Amino acid sequence: PLRPVLPADIQSRKGGTPLVVLTAYTTPMARIVDRHCDVALVGDSLGMVLHGLPSTIGVTMEMMILHGRAVVRGLTKAMAVIDMPFGSYEESPQQAFRNAARLIAETGAPAVKLEGGLHMAETIAFLTSRGVPVMAHIGLTPQAVNTLGGYKVVGRDAEADKVMADAVAVQEAGAFSVVLEKVPEGLASRITQRLTIPTIGIGAGVRCDGQVLVVDDMLGMFTDFRPKFVKRFANFGETADEAVAAYAAEVRDRAFPGPEHAFADVLPAKGAQG
Ligand code: KIV
Ligand code: NA
């Protein structure tokens, strides 16, 4: 029988067919993701791609819950994971649990994701030991943009050992999988070999246990910037621009609406057409 994918299923897919993860923020997109992917990630990237924020820093619990609920409604098999927004978990394991519990209870998603390695290990252990499955996220952690000083590759040269230590730490803390963002491909491969939990790469090369992209990026809907790791599988932004332009022109020309979109004042007689 069909039952939703759970964190333990994801963990057991280590080393197998690559895990397919894609972000989703709405019910219709969740339905599409549900047909083709293993995990629908309600990423805090929604702050940028849906709400026009300059970074993920301003994303709130309320935004994550609203979009999380919409996504969970669209899923029948894929698993939802909800990002913990900036400021909702860094202060203490207790703060993290309180907010993770809200995300899970109020959306119905079975798991959360949070950013950080070694320094978040205690919090990850606190959550996982209390019934909150955690997907970790290391390498480039966009919520730390202000301390990282931009969205650069993380883990070249001497920094590689630190990223490896982060990976081992989140696994030992009980994370069921870990996102590796913008990590050099050789390092991502070594981390993937070393860990027993699946690595989900974004800008981390092909040898991770799975891949994730931001759906609006891969559809060509969000085009403010385009990281090297994004492949555009469609051009929704262009298609939408053309459609809106056509609509505007037809309205101005009174070409739309046509008679087929309008309602007659009198019902047609029985047996008559139209
Ligand atoms: O917010 C997000 O979409 C993410 C993925 C890119 C991993 O964290
Ligand atoms: Na995120």
C-alpha 107/C-alpha 49 separation (Å) is: 21
Active site residue 181: yes
Query: Atom 8 in ligand 1: which residue has the minimum CA distance?
Result: 43
N- to C-terminal Cα separation, the chain: 46
- Which domains, from first to last, does the chain contain? 7-238 (3.20.20.60)
Q: Would you list which residues are annotated within the binding site? A: 44-45, 83, 113, 115
For residue 40, give the ligand nearest its CA: 1
| CA 155/CA 145 separation, integer angstroms | 15
The angle that helices 27-36 and 61-73 make with each other, rounded to 10 degrees, is: 60
pLDDT in tens, the chain (274 residues): 456 789 999 999 999 999 999 999 999 999 999 999 999 999 999 999 999 999 999 999 999 999 999 999 999 999 999 999 999 999 999 999 999 999 999 999 999 999 999 999 999 999 999 999 999 999 999 999 999 989 999 999 999 999 999 999 999 999 999 999 999 999 999 999 999 999 999 999 999 999 999 999 999 999 988 899 999 999 999 999 999 999 999 999 999 999 999 999 998 787 766 5
Ligand 1 pocket: which of 20, 29, 45, 51 to mutate (most atoms within 8 A of CB):
45
Stretch (H or E) spanning 172: helix 159-172
Q: Which amino acid residue places its CA nearest to atom 3 of ligand 1? A: 43
| 3 state DSSP class of 135 | strand
Helices (H) and strands (E) in the chain, counts: 11, 8
Ligand 1 lining (C-beta closer than 6 Å)? 23, 41, 43-45, 83, 137, 179, 202, 212, 214
Complex prediction ipTM: 0.99
Contact between residue 224 and residue 249 where contact means Cβ atoms under 8 Å apart: no
